[in-house]
Amino acid sequence: MNLIEKIENITDKCISCGFCESVCPTLGANEYNSVFGARGRVILADFALKHPGNNMELGDSFYSCLDCYACVNVCPAGVNAGVVSELMKEYIVSGASGNKNPIAELIKDSIIKYENPLGLKKEAAEWAYGIEFNKSDTVIITGHMYQMMPYTRAINKVRKYIDEAVVRGIASAIKNHIPLIKLSRHFYDAGLREKMNRDLKNIVSMLKSSGVEFDYLGSDEPYPGMFLYDLGYMEEFKAYALKVYNLLKERGIKKIITVDPHTHDLLMNVYPEYIPEFGIEVVYYTDLLNLKFKKFNGNITIQEPCHMVLHNNNFRAVDILNSIADVRMADRNGKLNMCCGGPDELLFPESAKKISVQRYAELKEKSDNVITICPLCYNNLAYDNKVEDFSEFVIDMISK
Amino acid sequence: MQKSTSAAVTELISGLGSKKILTTAEELVPFMKDASYISGKMPVAVCLPENAGEIAKILSICNKHRLDVTIRSAGTSLTGSSISGFPGVIISTMNLNRILEINTSSRYAVCEPGVRLDKLNQELKKYNFFYPPDPASSRASTVGGSLSTNAGGLRAVRYGATKEWVLGMDVVLPDGHIIRTGEYTLKRSAGYDLTALMIGSEGTLGVVTKAILKIEPLPESTAKIIGFYKDIESVGKTMDKIKSAGITPLIAEFMDLGTINSIRKGMGLEIPEYTKFLLMVDVDSPLEALNRKIESARNIFKEFTGDVNVITDIKRMDEIYAARKGAYSALLDLRENNNQLIVIGDVIVPSSELAGAMTEIEKCVRDDGVKATLFGHIGDGNIHANIFMDNTEEGRKNMEKLQMDIAKVAITHNGCVSAEHGIGTEKNRLLYEEYLERDSLYTLEIMKSIKKVFDPNNILNRGKIFYEPD
Ligand SMILES: Cc1cc2nc3c(=O)[nH]c(=O)nc-3n(C[C@H](O)[C@H](O)[C@H](O)COP(=O)(O)OP(=O)(O)OC[C@H]3O[C@@H](n4cnc5c(N)ncnc54)[C@H](O)[C@@H]3O)c2cc1C
Ligand code: SF4
Ligand code: SF4
């Protein structure tokens, strides 16, 4: 099946019932402009493919999709507007229609050149200075996610004051002088950086206390290529993922421990799809924890990660939290989970902000203590210091 | 674009700002579809107002320029009523989406039109109350859309359709006037009932911007009784006897084998081999009397079938309710290919006529040679024929013939061509047929005259409800 057939094979099933719009976070965040909602994306994709040569600007509709998969979980016809968006980004990137997003282009070039979206591969390893790891064919792969949050937060703080067209202009300019991207190392939120590094250290410490032996590749750890995949650069992603795989193979890696849901989903489900020989076991760190916990004196609520609950990946984090505390889930939970808005942070910060504010309010309605299990969720929802990362919360609950 | 049209769009943009007036092709395309099989024309603009004042402004501009206007909420209409056959303006009321007040002692809730029905009920549940109209689309469909189509649902047998649940509303008329119909009171005898007139008017008279809705306490305790049958007559007799015995069910649904098969897994029931039909009845009562109520109903079931299941576990009841609510959706899996569409019929007959009408409808389906499954709300006589339509000229013709044949059965049994989905553009031919058959075409003329009073320039939802024979 070629790309167009793949897309039409999905969009043809849609009956335009609009059920998906009721859960699609980006629709409300864009004042019900349907092209930013799940049904609108499916209808637009279908129309664009059936009317090629039209001059429609397709980018914003599909790039703004959070890839959360809330839509498919309520769709009576089994249509996944998230996947339609992924494929349509590939269609746009192939030059078939619409304009490429200059920020996306910049990020792509940076990943290919520096193995990190912001050219910060070295900085991404700094958290682990001084930690002793084992010699092992099991490695922890951070995916650079915890490490990048302090930079995106600082960049977005600046962006708030700049017109979006100017931002896109700057992105185009940097793309022509790609080493300039490394300047981003000077823009970070120092407090958040310290916290994110601490979270990673906590994760390592809990795994060690659970008796898990593992290594870390340090500044050799490549960014796994998530943005290439998310932004539709499939040719580049394929080549890049193969490079990452070859590195892991050379190092004799048999098992990967992931610490964030995005990297987990990518390595667990996407890599094997593109690299059939990818035989490396992937396990989420919470599933390796073997610790005794105290009871938390109070209630908590949980922001479940879309890449786990809506993308059908199992993990034990929620069970662990249930065993520790009185958990009060938000009305939208499990298969109706609402995304934190995080994936829109780089390209559509306004939309991301509105979604996170709404979700934060929904969570706070249930409990003051909000636990996130993904660095992106934390970064987007931490409007007060009662929002904590799983690692932060759980490490304090270990019985001594 | 005509000169006056582009002048109107320019005025809309200067009046509301470009963020609220969409004009680029990619933004307009999604508004060419609703949940029907019909495609609309590309609008010249889509307006995203936030309040009644902005809607009044939009309507005044469109009225001045005689520009067609289609009103739209969630766009789940099955009859093409929220898309337009003309390249005009679409007004979305989705940004008016606040629940303004919940008053449990006076038993009302005040909502804006873009509130989704499930969202309203989620809120009301916190007070142990609910808003009864429950179309199967309630996850997405809204207060505005359901008022305008007089939506029904599974609970209509007990609570009636939407019209029983609306006390009053604010409506913006095409000339920009904002009027109030009805009040916060449960009773009112005060001239013409314009609230009733607005309900089911499918966006042809004005834009609803606020609604005062009646609410009910949640039933204290409930049970679900399910019987399996070889023939539809016994289903009808069971139902007649239940109602005659003074039991008014909360829900009373039947389905044929095709429908049962599509939701078999979701229901999770042991289904006897002989089964051709299933009857599902929910009863309620104060907790201490529930068992007595179950026994009376079960005994009636037992007179007509050997296999009766009683379910009292709330989780299981919710699962079966959800499976039945998803029946239309589940049928999508039975499509032979992606291009096949399911068109859903919506006739109704008095419930005592149901068994007879069903037998004739089954014959129509056989004679017309079109694949269709049947389910419906037996308590109120509403039969949905789900017609699998090949998306070709011939497929469409076959579907239209079957729809007309079924409509004629309903009309001869003193029924109506649409129970709850409305007329839109899809059923205006059938509605015409109904009044023609009753020798009362003048009723349609009166309706048209009323429309003229509200909308003298015929800008609102032109082409909906009224069929114009050549
Ligand atoms: C899977 C599925 C199952 C369904 N099941 C049922 C069912 O069980 N029972 C049932 O009754 N219906 C059912 N429907 C039909 C449909 O959902 C209902 O008609 C629903 O009430 C429409 O609500 P909406 O918000 O989507 O309105 P829309 O589709 O947006 O609009 C419907 C009509 O209302 C008008 N309108 C919308 N908003 C306003 C407003 N603010 N002011 C004035 N006019 C307005 C529109 O012009 C249009 O004529 C189903 C549909 C689907 C797709
Ligand atoms: S829920 Fe599914 S079938 Fe309905 S509009 Fe969305 S994608 Fe289409
Ligand atoms: S994946 Fe999420 S953001 Fe994208 S269309 Fe589906 S619900 Fe909307």
Q: Is A43 in contact with B27 (Cβ distance < 8 A)? A: no
Q: Is B30 in contact with A44 (Cβ distance < 8 A)? A: yes
pLDDT at A114: 79
Instruction: Let me know if B186 is exposed, middle or buried by CB neighbors in 10 A (0-12, 13-18, 19+).
Output: exposed
CB B284 within 8 Å of CB B221: yes
| Residue A114 sits in the same domain as residue A237 | yes
Tell me the pTM: 0.93
| Residue A125 sits in the same domain as residue A211 | yes
Q: Is residue A85 part of a domain?
A: yes
CATH code of the domain covering residue A92: 1.10.1060.10
The pLDDT-based confidence of B293 (bands split at 50, 70, 90) is very high
pLDDT in tens, chain A (400 residues): 899 999 999 998 899 999 999 999 999 999 999 999 999 999 999 999 999 877 788 889 999 999 999 999 999 888 999 999 999 999 988 877 666 777 778 788 888 887 777 777 788 899 999 999 999 999 999 999 999 888 887 777 666 666 666 667 666 666 666 666 666 666 778 899 999 999 999 999 999 999 999 999 999 998 999 988 988 898 889 999 999 999 999 999 999 999 999 999 999 999 999 999 999 999 999 999 999 999 999 999 999 999 999 998 889 999 999 999 999 999 999 999 999 999 998 889 899 999 999 999 999 999 999 999 999 999 999 999 999 999 999 999 998 7
The pLDDT-based confidence of B375 (bands split at 50, 70, 90) is confident
> At residue B104, does pLDDT exceed 90?
yes
| Residue, of B217 and A53, whose pLDDT is higher | B217
pLDDT at B122: 95
Protein residue with its CA nearest to atom 37 in ligand 1? B145
Q: Is residue A293 part of a domain?
A: no
pLDDT at A174: 64
CB B342 within 8 Å of CB B388: yes
pLDDT tens sequence across B176-187: 999 999 999 988
* Residues of B contacting chain A (CB within 8 angstroms): 19-20, 22, 24-27, 29-35, 46, 48, 74-76, 92, 94-95, 114, 116, 118, 122, 137, 139-140, 326, 328-330, 332, 338-339, 341-342
| Residue A201 sits in the same domain as residue A277 | yes
Locate the ligand 2 atom nearest the alpha carbon of residue A75 and give its number.
1
The first and second tokens of residue B398, run together, are: 């076959």
Q: Could you tell me if the CB of A27 is within 6 A of ligand 2?
A: no
Protein residue with its CA nearest to atom 2 in ligand 2? A75
> At residue B334, does pLDDT exceed 90?
no
Residues 59-118 of A with CB under 8 A from B: 61, 74, 76-77
CB-closest option in B33, B116, B122 to A43:
B33
| H or E segment to which residue B268 belongs | none
> At residue B39, does pLDDT exceed 70?
yes
pLDDT at B116: 98
- Fold exhibited by the domain B337-454: Alpha-Beta Plaits (3.30.70)
Distance from the A97 Cα atom to the nearest Cα atom in chain B, whole angstroms: 12
Q: Is residue A258 part of a domain?
A: yes
Average pLDDT over chain B, rounded to an integer: 93
Which residues, in sequence order, are CB contacts of B93 under 8 Å at separation 6+? B49, B55, B71, B72, B73, B112, B113, B114, B142, B144, B207, B208, B209
pLDDT at A175: 64
Q: Is residue A77 part of a domain?
A: yes
Q: Is residue A65 part of a domain?
A: yes
What are the two backbone dihedrals, phi and then psi, of residue B469, each rounded to the nearest 5 degrees? -65, 150
CB-closest option in A12, A32, A33 to B338:
A12
Protein residue with its CA nearest to atom 7 in ligand 3? A24
What's the rounded Cα separation, in Å, for the pair B3 and A282? 63
Q: Is residue A184 part of a domain?
A: yes
CATH code of the domain covering residue A373: 3.40.50
| Residue A275 sits in the same domain as residue A252 | yes
Residue A78 Cα to ligand 2 midpoint, Å, equals 8
Residue B31 Cα to ligand 3 midpoint, Å, equals 18
| Residue A198 sits in the same domain as residue A279 | yes
Same fold, B3-92 and B221-329: no
What's the rounded Cα separation, in Å, for the pair B454 and B237? 46
Overall average pLDDT of the B459-466 stretch = 95
Which one of A11, A30, A33 makes the best mutation probe of the B interface by having the most chain B beta carbons within 10 Å?
Answer: A33
Domain boundaries, chain B: 3-92, 99-217, 221-329, 337-454
Overall average pLDDT of the B281-306 stretch = 92
Closest chain B residue to A98, measured at CA: B26
CB-closest option in B30, B328, B339 to A12:
B339
* b/e B228-251 (16+ beta carbons within 10 angstroms → b): bbeebbbbbbbbebbbeeebebbb
Protein residue with its CA nearest to atom 34 in ligand 1? B145
| Residue A114 sits in the same domain as residue A43 | no
Query: Of A99, A124, A154, which marks where a domain is finished?
Result: A99
Query: Of A288, A314, A340, which marks where a domain is finished?
Result: A288
| Residue A161 sits in the same domain as residue A276 | yes
pLDDT at B179: 97
Residue B233 Cα to ligand 3 midpoint, Å, equals 46
Residues of A with Cβ-Cβ distance to B34 under 8 angstroms: 16, 18
Q: Could you tell me if the CB of B153 is within 6 A of ligand 1?
A: yes
| Residue, of A110 and B102, whose pLDDT is higher | B102
What's the rounded Cα separation, in Å, for the pair B24 and B155? 42
| Residue A365 sits in the same domain as residue A352 | yes
What's the rounded Cα separation, in Å, for the pair A158 and A164? 11
Which residues, in sequence order, are CB contacts of A399 under 8 Å at separation 6+? A292, A293, A294
CB B333 within 8 Å of CB B393: no
CB-closest option in A12, A33, A77 to B27:
A33
| Residue A328 sits in the same domain as residue A204 | no
Q: Is B35 in contact with A61 (Cβ distance < 8 A)? A: no
| Residue A126 sits in the same domain as residue A243 | yes
Residues 293-332 of A with CB under 8 A from B: 331
Q: A191-200, B52-61, B216-225, B348-357 — which is least confidently predicted?
A: B348-357
> Which top CATH class is B3-92?
alpha beta
Query: Of A222, A253, A288, which marks where a domain is finished?
Result: A288
Overall average pLDDT of the B306-332 stretch = 87
Distance from the B244 Cα atom to the nearest Cα atom in chain A, whole angstroms: 37
Q: Which residue has the tokens 């930690």?
A: A131
Strand arrangement of the beta sheet that strand B166-172 belongs to: B99-103, B108-111, B207-214, B166-172, B178-182
| Residue A57 sits in the same domain as residue A206 | no
> At residue B338, does pLDDT exceed 90?
no
The pLDDT-based confidence of B143 (bands split at 50, 70, 90) is very high
CA-closest candidate to residue B90, choices B37, B142, B34, B157: B34
Protein residue with its CA nearest to atom 23 in ligand 1? B145
pLDDT at B206: 98
| Total count of domains within chain A | 3
CB B254 within 8 Å of CB B326: no
Q: Is residue A323 part of a domain?
A: yes
Residue range of the domain that includes A273: 103-288
Overall average pLDDT of the B92-97 stretch = 98
Instruction: Let me know if A325 is exposed, middle or buried by CB neighbors in 10 A (0-12, 13-18, 19+).
Output: buried
- Please give the full DSSP string across A342-394, using - where no structure is assigned: GGGTTT-HHHHHHHHHHHHHHHHTT-S-EEESSHHHHHHH-SSTTEEEHHHHH
CA dihedral A304, A305, A309, A313 (to 10 degrees): -130
Residues of B with Cβ-Cβ distance to A54 under 8 angstroms: 25
| Residue A46 sits in the same domain as residue A186 | no
- Fold exhibited by the domain B221-329: Alpha-Beta Plaits (3.30.70)
Locate the ligand 3 atom nearest the alpha carbon of residue A80 and give its number.
6
pLDDT at A172: 66
Q: Is residue A294 part of a domain?
A: no
- Whether the CA torsion B6, B9, B13, B19 is positive or negative: it is negative
CA-closest candidate to residue B419, choices B365, B356, B377: B377
CA-closest candidate to residue A394, choices A380, A373, A377, A378: A373
pLDDT at A158: 64
**DSSP label at residue B33:** B
**Which of these CATH numbers, 3.30.420.10, 2.40.440.10, 3.40.50.2300, 3.30.465.10, describes B99-217?**
3.30.465.10
